[in-house]
Amino acid sequence: MLIDIADVFTADEVDEMRTRLLAEPWVDGKVTAGQRSARDKFNRQLNEDSALGVLFGQRILARLSDNALFMSAALPKRIYPPLFNRYSGGEAFGFHIDNAIRGIKGVRERVRTDLSATLFLTDPQTYDGGELVIRDTFGERSVKLPAGHLVLYPGTSVHKVNPVTRGERVAAFFWIESLVREDSQRSLLLDMDVAIQRLSAQQADDESLLQLSGVYHNLLRRWSDV
Under the binding rule (CB under 5 A), the answer on residue 91 touching Ni ion is no
Q: Smallest gap, in angstroms, from Cβ of residue 196 to Ni ion?
A: 33
Under the binding rule (CB under 5 A), the answer on residue 98 touching Ni ion is yes
Q: Smallest gap, in angstroms, from Cβ of residue 41 to Ni ion?
A: 9
Residue whose CB is less far from Ni ion, 98 or 183? 98
Q: Which stretch binds Ni ion (CB under 5 A): 93-101, 147-155, 179-187, 218-226?
A: 93-101
Within 8 A by CB and 6+ apart from 206, the residues are none
Per-residue contact string for residues 134-173; x = within reach of Ni ion by CB under 5 A: ----------------------------------------
Residue whose CB is less far from Ni ion, 72 or 178? 178
Strand ranges across the sheet with 132-136: 41-42, 92-96, 159-161, 132-136, 139-143
Q: Smallest gap, in angstroms, from Cβ of residue 126 to Ni ion?
A: 23
Q: Smallest gap, in angstroms, from Cβ of residue 98 to Ni ion?
A: 4
Dist. CA 123–CA 180, nearest whole Å: 33
Under the binding rule (CB under 5 A), the answer on residue 114 touching Ni ion is no
Would you list the DSSP string of 134-197? EEETTEEEEE-PPTT-EEEEETTS-EEE--EEESEEEEEEEEEEESS--HHHHHHHHHHHHHHH
Residue whose CB is less far from Ni ion, 95 or 195? 95
Q: Tell me if 54 sits within 8 A of 105, measured CB to CB.
A: no
Amino acid at 217: H
Binding residues for Ni ion, rule: CB under 5 A, are 98
